[in-house]
A and B are shown apart, each in its own frame.
Chain A
């Protein structure tokens, strides 16, 4: 089982998300994360899908993705150098007396405090998946009330 980051450029058309997601679900795959957004081209969207699975079966899924009429291009970013970003929002328990510690942690990670309430702090953090994992790990002892992540987006590095 390897982790794959699959970037799919699609026509921005009705039903396309269901078509793409359907290829994974029909094979019993659970998508770890999925991000959909617009691109530099009007009418083209990009989906970044993170999924774990057997290489051979994922090879098949990629071919099946390519077969979808609304899919323009499929690339596997796990095989190439890419820049990856994800955004997390984390609501931490934060009694007034621990605020300092937490702010220090935020500073170390370059995270931003998005909201302050009497007993909690909402933090916004971006970075690659690993950085966010680490932040969540270190902030867990304070008590995470709620957290969510956007799902990875990934762009290939230019080769010179």
Chain B
């Protein structure tokens, strides 16, 4: 029996066991929406396409599944771009359908025509323009396969409307075979032996674990590896939660706003074991002076990540989970008790800290995050926006499980947190989801509040409202003569009224002793979103800070008098 292209798409999504689809309609995708309407796929209607794609991304990060998105041609597709790039830089599996004008109109500057494959080429893992109905099912099969295997990433499928309307038999391929795409999962045994040797001989080793460990669901294996070797471990922003930050050997996050002890341990190390991490400049600072004494073992699924920024002594190309398993069965613990006690002393003597507020009317943003941690007993899924809020969420909430921290790392996309929290809440109905937000970022996709209302998602939006684009203001304060050029945003909406207008609960907190009751009240509401407007200290800064392009030695630890 022949069915329409639009039906083929929905049948394929069913084959892929897609539970949620995020998107926004428009002319050339009406045929697909027509078929989605009566399908078992739950459709989450955003209020801006950027909201849809970040929600799919948040869903993917929190669930480990592939996020699925649909938008119309032209402006619908271009509204997705920031979200596609966000997913691309953080290696998040997405399959994104965009409508396209019919094939005979392509290239004619037709109404709502843009060259989607052209625009998305550098920000996707792969993309397709479906040119023949015969290819449609195979393209979808390949897209899901490519998005979720190897180093994951977003795949775009551009579907001309006449393809959606034409008829063909539906046969979903059982297998995928792509000559040019055969990801390598098994680490080379010789390399694994070499790594074990280096580990055994090391005197000052540190594990540096990244988002790749979360993506490959290798948290168990990582814990085992730390247990077997007794090596201190730091994680990147995206790697948080893979190893419990509450454990003694955890040095928590490294990098620009990482802990003193993580950055110094890495700097002093004689062996750095990088696992699913890519030596981003926010981690390394001045690259020529990064890890002056260390050899490097680098485990990564992506050969192009190896020796890209830092020369590697023992590269192991493979899946973090599989390679860690192999390592765990062979590795011997090094003798490093002196080193470990040195690192633990650094940890004890230089904890993350901030100057506590002495004024009952001045709320420190760090304190809010600490209380969010305490009141949720560390069990929430935290999404973040970008800026100081993101860094405080990283520093003062302690993550003990993978996929509980949802944040745009590589692209640093303001406006990510709220829609991502919506996706994460759909993925984790068993957990509270909190978007730790800034007053700037939250305004970038605030329209998505209504999506949370419509779907009765009890996400908590905790706005750390400092009246500034705080992180930029911090740079201006520290490096640009305190000239706050266009970073003051105290001309702001009343977030409580705004929340209520959307049908959320709204709470304003202006005093320290209101912080805990407000969080508790928010946690008691379970049928709609809650916005808490925490009016916090205006000029608080994130410390420690390794200024961009500088070294650990130049770390700014606290406010200079």
Report A-chain residues with C-beta under 8 Å of the C-beta of B308.
60
* Chain A, 43-98, CB within 8 A of any chain B CB: 59-60, 63-64, 66-72
Report A-chain residues with C-beta under 8 Å of the C-beta of B129.
14-15
CB-based contact A72/B304 at 8 Å: no
Chain B residue with the shortest CB-CB distance to A60: B308
Query: Which stretch (A18-26, A128-136, A137-145) binds chain B?
Result: A18-26
Name A67's contact: one of B117, B131, B302, B307 (CB within 8 Å): B302
At the interface, yes or no: B178 with Cβ under 8 Å from chain A? yes
In whole angstroms, what is the CA distance A22 to B124 when docked?
13
Chain A nearest CB, measured from B126 CB (Å): 4
CB-based contact B180/A70 at 8 Å: yes
CB-based contact A66/B178 at 8 Å: no
Interface string of B360-372 (1 = CB under 8 A from A): 0000000000000
Name B303's contact: one of A10, A26, A66 (CB within 8 Å): A66
CB-based contact A18/B121 at 8 Å: yes
Name A69's contact: one of B122, B178, B302, B307 (CB within 8 Å): B178
Report A-chain residues with C-beta under 8 Å of the C-beta of B179.
11, 72
* Chain B, 88-129, CB within 8 A of any chain A CB: 117-118, 121-122, 125-127, 129
At the interface, yes or no: B214 with Cβ under 8 Å from chain A? no
Name B304's contact: one of A18, A22, A64 (CB within 8 Å): A64
Report A-chain residues with C-beta under 8 Å of the C-beta of B307.
59
In whole angstroms, what is the CA distance A14 to B122 when docked?
16
Chain A residue with the shortest CB-CB distance to B303: A63
Q: A-B pairs with CB below 8 Å: how many?
A: 38
Besides A11-B180, A66-B304, A69-B126, 7 other CB < 8 A contacts? A18-B118, A26-B122, A60-B308, A63-B303, A63-B304, A66-B303, A72-B180
Report 5 cross-chain contacts, Cβ distance below 8 Å, ordered by A residue. Answer: A11-B179, A11-B180, A15-B129, A60-B304, A68-B180
Report A-chain residues with C-beta under 8 Å of the C-beta of B125.
69
At the interface, yes or no: B146 with Cβ under 8 Å from chain A? yes
Chain B residue with the shortest CB-CB distance to A73: B180
In whole angstroms, what is the CA distance A139 to B302 when docked?
50
User: How many B residues are at the interface, by size bracket?
Assistant: 10 to 19
* Chain B, 257-308, CB within 8 A of any chain A CB: 302-304, 307-308
* Chain B, 125-140, CB within 8 A of any chain A CB: 125-127, 129, 131
CB-based contact B180/A71 at 8 Å: yes
Which 5 pairs across A and B sit closest by C-beta, in order of nearness?
A63-B304, A69-B126, A72-B180, A69-B181, A71-B180
Indicate whether A22 sits within 8 Å of B302 (C-beta atoms), given known contacts A14-B129, A15-B129, A70-B180. Answer: no
Name B146's contact: one of A59, A60, A69 (CB within 8 Å): A69
Max chain A C-beta neighbours (<10 A), residue from B146, B304, B307: B304
Max chain A C-beta neighbours (<10 A), residue from B146, B180, B303: B180
Interface size, chain A (Cβ < 8 Å): 19
* Chain A, 12-48, CB within 8 A of any chain B CB: 14-15, 18-19, 22, 26
In whole angstroms, what is the CA distance A76 to B271 when docked?
32
CB-based contact A14/B131 at 8 Å: yes
Report B-chain residues with C-beta under 8 Å of the C-beta of A68.
126, 180
Report A-chain residues with C-beta under 8 Å of the C-beta of B121.
15, 18-19, 22
Name A22's contact: one of B122, B131, B303 (CB within 8 Å): B122
* Chain B, 376-411, CB within 8 A of any chain A CB: none
Chain B residue with the shortest CB-CB distance to A63: B304
Report A-chain residues with C-beta under 8 Å of the C-beta of B304.
60, 63-64, 66-67
Report B-chain residues with C-beta under 8 Å of the C-beta of A11.
179-180
Chain A residue with the shortest CB-CB distance to B311: A56
In whole angstroms, what is the CA distance A70 to B303 when docked?
17
Report B-chain residues with C-beta under 8 Å of the C-beta of A26.
122
Interface string of B292-329 (1 = CB under 8 A from A): 00000000001110011000000000000000000000
In whole angstroms, what is the CA distance A10 to B181 when docked?
11
In whole angstroms, what is the CA distance A60 to B121 when docked?
18
Chain A nearest CB, measured from B457 CB (Å): 36
CB-based contact B180/A69 at 8 Å: yes
Report B-chain residues with C-beta under 8 Å of the C-beta of A14.
129, 131
Chain B nearest CB, measured from A59 CB (Å): 8
Report A-chain residues with C-beta under 8 Å of the C-beta of B302.
67
Max chain B C-beta neighbours (<10 A), residue from A14, A59, A63, A67: A67
In whole angstroms, what is the CA distance A63 to B380 when docked?
39
Report B-chain residues with C-beta under 8 Å of the C-beta of A67.
302-304
Report B-chain residues with C-beta under 8 Å of the C-beta of A18.
118, 121
CB-based contact B117/A15 at 8 Å: yes
* Chain B, 20-72, CB within 8 A of any chain A CB: none
In whole angstroms, what is the CA distance A82 to B554 when docked?
51
Report A-chain residues with C-beta under 8 Å of the C-beta of B127.
15
In whole angstroms, what is the CA distance A71 to B179 when docked?
8
Chain A nearest CB, measured from B418 CB (Å): 31
In whole angstroms, what is the CA distance A57 to B181 when docked?
23
Chain A nearest CB, measured from B95 CB (Å): 14
Chain B nearest CB, measured from A136 CB (Å): 36
Chain B residue with the shortest CB-CB distance to A70: B180
